[in-house]
Chains A and B, each alone.
Chain A
Amino acid sequence: MAELLMTIVGGIKIGAIYALAAIGLVVIHKATKTVNFAHGGLVMLGAFATYEMVVVFEWPYWMAYIAVPVLIGALGALLEFVVLKPLRRADLFTVIIGTIFLGTALSEAYRLAENSELLAVPALFTGPPLLIDVGSDVVIFTREQIWVTLGALAVGTAGVAIFRYSSLGRSMRAMASNSRGAQLCGYSVEGVYGIAWFLGSALAGLAGVFAAPSKGVSPDLAVSIVASAFVAAVIGGFDSLGGAIVGGLLLGCVETLSAAYVSSSLSMAISYFLLFCVLLVRPEGLFPEAKRRHV
């Protein structure tokens, strides 16, 4: 019983990070129709910036939580403006290919600039774990675990709320729903795309801050995160922010549970198996957006 609980708690923690990364991916996709394959690179840079701030410059940790999303958000908006905007004149496909190369460029630039294999980032909380009695067993929670899980989910929910209820979010949703209509209201494509990339990239950066202590900083982080975020987003329906959260948590739990009770070498394979099953039963994902009528 205690073991099952601890397995689930572990799964939810990874799942929360997946969810945060997936939300950023979905925000950018919803607003700009672009699947951002460079998303993992932004998460990696977020983790790297955390390392620089916390370990190299020895700033207090909370500053990383504020500065990193702003920094990575601005970088994302800049990349959209400098690299992707010119590509958009060609077509959407070119933009998507562009993000693939952008992601590779981010990882490789990092690999060139930083020749160590892995940078370790200390945890925010290092106090003794909390022990909770469950019958005869003891369940162990670390403060870090609780912080990452609740923090990532809170930030993710805030991201969803901004997208759904703020006027910034409304501009993105309007642009996604009908780009000509949005322009006729006074929204510029560049402006809204810039905001979407800022918000999506800021969420990626925050995912990096949350992931840094438990995953370390390495170029591989980019690929592993974008793969998981992508799977989580597709499970959730790709255009649903709530779906991305559920998809992330589901993926984290299924990976950990299958590793624990089926085979520990399965966790990577199982995420694709889960994706396959979801697509087989519900090709539109678990939370498809309402089908739009042409207006």
Chain B
Amino acid sequence: MLEVRGLRVAYGSVEVVHGLDLDVAAGESLALLGANGAGKTSSVEAIAGLLPTAGGRVNLDGEDVTRRPASYIVRRGLALVPQWRELFANFSVDETLRAAMSAPRGRPPLPLESVYEMFPGLAQRRAQLAGSLSGGEQQMLAVARGLVTNPKLMLLDEPSAGLSVGVTRSLIGIVKRIRDTGIGILIIEQNLEIARALATRCIVLSAGRIAWSGAMDDAMANVEIKQAYFS
């Protein structure tokens, strides 16, 4: 469903991702691992259209979406839940989700109630302003906002960052449910345990290049990888 070939990303003249290849099929989940500064966030933001690509190709469902703006790519069914959440601080929970629902797109959005059903914590805080939510609730809202757009594929950039163990656990549960509905998942994680809970395959990035790729369990068993990138 998502097919990335030779993706390169640069900030001005400094290239930070030097040719990334990856594939995510429907209902499959892939983890993108690597140390800080390895180029993980740059890669997913370039795939989602928030950053310009310096080279390579991004195919979504057979359509070449390279160099398309983020708004277009969302409409084609790719939702990014960004690292900094990028919520609308002065919007209520309800208004945030409605904003995502009423954005122009080719496919119908998910009904609001089915989303609330998946996020009972948000359902209780419909009228609360996004800026006044707790960190965990804000992360839930960011995921819910992506989900409302009815994506075929979700990109999650370190969803567990800064969250308590309890919140992280329920987040894992929600992402699993999303995956089980047939939505492809590409998740960036620093935490190997969380990555293993959600993904079956992984790619390890180092200094903008693929250092290792394979099954999640093999990566966990590979002491060299653990020591080199996650110590």
Contacts and interface: CB of A to CB of B under 8 A. Distances in A.
B86 A181 contact: yes
Contact of B70 (A177, A184, A289, A293): A184
A224 interface: no
B88 interface: yes
A177 B71 contact: no
Contacts of B103: 171, 185-187
A293 B85 CA distance: 13
B79 interface: yes
A184 B99 contact: no
Contacts of B70: 180, 183-184
A290 interface: yes
Nearest to B79: A184
A178 B145 CA distance: 14
> By DSSP majority rule, is chain A's interface helix, strand, loop, or mixed?
helix
A240 to B, nearest CB: 12
Contacts of B80: 184
Contacts of B71: 183, 185-189, 191
Interface in A162-190: 167, 170-171, 173-174, 177-178, 180-189
Contacts of A184: 48, 50, 70, 74, 79-80, 82, 86, 145-146
B89 A295 contact: yes
B149 A292 contact: no
Interface in A130-178: 167, 170-171, 173-174, 177-178
Interface string A180-206: 111111111101000000000000000
A178 B138 CA distance: 14
B90 A177 contact: yes
A180 B89 CA distance: 13
A164 B108 CA distance: 24
B196 interface: no
A295 B87 contact: yes
Contacts of A290: 90
A295 B90 CA distance: 10
B190 to A, nearest CB: 21
A292 B95 contact: no
A187 B131 CA distance: 21
* Most A Cβ at <10 Å: residue of B75, B103, B131: B103
A276 B110 CA distance: 51
Interface residues of A, number: 24
Interface string B78-106: 01101011111111000100111011110
B72 interface: yes
| Among A173, A180, A181: residue with most chain B CB under 10 A | A181
A177 B69 CA distance: 19
A178 B104 CA distance: 17
B130 interface: yes
Contacts of B100: 185-186
A178 B88 contact: yes
A223 B13 CA distance: 44
Interface in A237-295: 289-290, 292-295
Contacts of B132: 293
Nearest to B145: A185
Given A183-B49, A295-B89, 16 more contacts: A167-B98, A170-B99, A174-B88, A178-B89, A180-B70, A181-B86, A181-B145, A183-B70, A184-B48, A184-B50, A184-B79, A184-B145, A188-B71, A191-B71, A290-B90, A293-B131
12 contacts: A174-B91, A180-B50, A180-B82, A181-B88, A183-B69, A184-B74, A185-B74, A186-B71, A186-B103, A188-B69, A290-B90, A293-B131
Interface of B: 48-50, 69-72, 74-75, 79-80, 82, 84-91, 95, 98-100, 102-105, 130-132, 138, 145-146, 149
Interface of A: 167, 170-171, 173-174, 177-178, 180-189, 191, 289-290, 292-295
